[in-house]
Structure 1
């Protein structure tokens, strides 16, 4: 699940895409690894190769989850500067893209499943700019409507086949 927190003022709309379910999973893994390591340090459990492999696999899964779906995404629509800025922060660094607001011709909603979708800005050049670095999961279309309203476009729903892009 992803929180879509929107802040609006007369000059700009800022949307934060926060992957709280991924971060919760990583927190749970950190708690489990901490419990195992604490038990080993206290001498209640011996360090075996099986325990070391299990801890390494858990840590690896947590890093994989953070790299693939744990990025914080920020989309900012600035009316004063007439810019759309999309920034993502993650373990692999920061990615920042800016486009002119006049270059935006539409908002594509690529629906993978009922509540899982990806938001892309359709630009006049034919390019598609993702607003978030991952698929979003939401049971409400309120965030989509708010973004489309801010861009003054109608969202276009496009069904996407699971397992591959069209």
Structure 2
């Protein structure tokens, strides 16, 4: 799950995409690894091969999850300057893209399942600019409507093709 925080004025709208469930998983893994480490230290013996493998797998799974789905997203729609900027922050660094608002042709909502979707800004060049680096989950369309209103377009719902039914 991702929090989508939309705030601003008619001239500047800021949308923050916060993947709280991914980071909650990371906190749970850190708690588990800490608990296991404390019990190993309290026992006073060395770490066994099984415990070491379990800890390495847990930490590896956490790092993989944070790299693939733990990016924080920031989208700014600045009507005064006529710019759309999309930034994502993650473990592998920062990604920044900026486009003129005049190039925005539409907002595509690519629906994967009932409440899981991806937001893409359609540009006049044919390029699709993702607003968040991952699929979003939401049970209402308030943030989509706010983003579309700030961009001055009507959102277009596109059903993604499923591989399995």
Fold similarity call, TM over 0.5: yes
* 1:13 correspondence with 2:51: no
1:30-109 map, 5 Å:
30-43=30-43, 47-109=47-109
The CA distance in 2 between the partners of 1:132 and 1:10, in whole Å, is 21
**C-alpha displacement at 1:152, in angstroms?**
1.1
Q: Is there any run of 5+ residues in structure 1 with no aligned partner, and where?
A: none
Q: Is there any run of 5+ residues in structure 2 with no aligned partner, and where?
A: none
* C-alpha RMSD of the superposition: 1.4
Name the count of aligned residue pairs: 164
**C-alpha displacement at 1:44, in angstroms?**
6.2
**C-alpha displacement at 1:163, in angstroms?**
5.2
The CA distance in 1 between the partners of 2:163 and 2:19, in whole Å, is 21
Name the counterpart of 2:144.
Answer: 144
TM-score, structure 1 normalization? 0.95
TM-score, structure 2 normalization? 0.96
For residues 129-161 of structure 1, the C-alpha deviation after alignment (integer angstroms, 9 at most, x for no partner) is 000011001111111111011111110011112
- Runs of 4+ displaced beyond 3 Å: none
